[in-house]
Amino acid sequence: MPTLNGIHVTNNIFKIVQGLPYTFDRVGMSGSTILTFDDMVLKIEKQSKQFDGTVSVMRWLEDKLPVPKVLCVDKENELCYLLMSRINGKMLCDEYFLERPEELCELLSEGLKTLWSVDISDCPRIRDLDTELFEAKYQVENKLYDLDNVEKDTFGENGRFKTPEDLLQWLFDNKPEYKPVLSHGDFCLPNIFSANGKISGYIDLGDMGVGDKWRDIALCYRSLKHNMDGTFGGKVYEGFNPDLLFEKLGIEKNEKKLDYYIMLDELF
C-alpha cells in the first residue's frame, strides 16, 4: 500500500496525488487525518455509517451550494478515504474577520440564510432531533463523549449536570419545537470560508442534512463567542457582543434553544 509521509493511502488515491506538494491541516477537532494540496483535500477517517451519508449529501449539494466536489472515494483497512476539491478563500476564524466583527457576522448571517434557502424535499439525509438524540444516547452508553472540550459549567461538582447520563435525560425531557431546514450540523467559524466579501464555501459536512434551524445558530453562536473571548486561539477581541449575530439574522435571540443545542453537542 503506497504512503505519503508515512500515511497509508489507497492505490486509486495515490495515482491522483502522487508527486504533488501538500501540508497537514490540523485546524478543528474532527480526529481525521487531513492532507491539503493546492487544489484538493484528502480526508482519512475510520469507517462509519456516517461516511456514506456524507458523500451522498456532498454529491447532492454540488449544484446547490459551494461545497467540495467529490473526486475519489475509497475504503481500505477499516479506513475511509475522501479526496475532494479545495474551497478557496479564508476561514471565518481568520484574524482578518475576527478584527472586523460587523463583516464577520454579516457573512455568518449570509451563510446561514443560504443554507436555509435550499429546497430540502429530496435531501438524502435526515439529521432531525430524534436522530441526534438516538446518537447521543449511543455516545453516552458507550462512553464516547469528550469531557475535555465541554463548557466550564456543564459537569463537575458545581456544574449543571452531575454526569453525561443526567444531561442525556434532560435533553429527552426538554425537546424544543423543531423547524426543519438544510442544516450544516457543525456551523463553526473554521468550517465556513469567504472570498471577495461573500461566502465561498462550506466544509466538514459530516453532519449535513435536514435538521433543526437552531442547531446551526447555537453552534455558530458558541463558535463566534469563543473565537472572540480567547477560548480558541488565545487572543481576546475586546468589546465584542456575540448577540450581533441575531441583529444580522434579523431574529430574536432564543436562549432556551441556544442552550439546548449547545448542551446536546456536549455529548459528541
Active site residue 186: yes
Residue 124's closest CA among 216, 214, 208?
208
Q: Of these residues, 25, 52, 153, 186, which one is catalytic?
A: 186
Amino acid at 130: D
Kindly report the CA angle at 94 between 256 and 210, in degrees rounded to 5? 45
Query: 44 pairs with which residues across the strands?
Result: 33, 81
Angle (CA) 267-61-219 rounded to 5° is 30
Contact by Cβ (8 Å): 208, 61 = yes
Tell me the CA distances in angstroms from 123 to 34, 154, 204, one per residue in order. 27, 34, 17
Neighbours of 237 (CB within 10 A): 16
Coil, strand or helix at 240: coil
Question: What is d(CA 27, CA 24) in angstroms, rounded to the nearest whole number?
Answer: 9
- Give the residue numbers marked as catalytic: 186
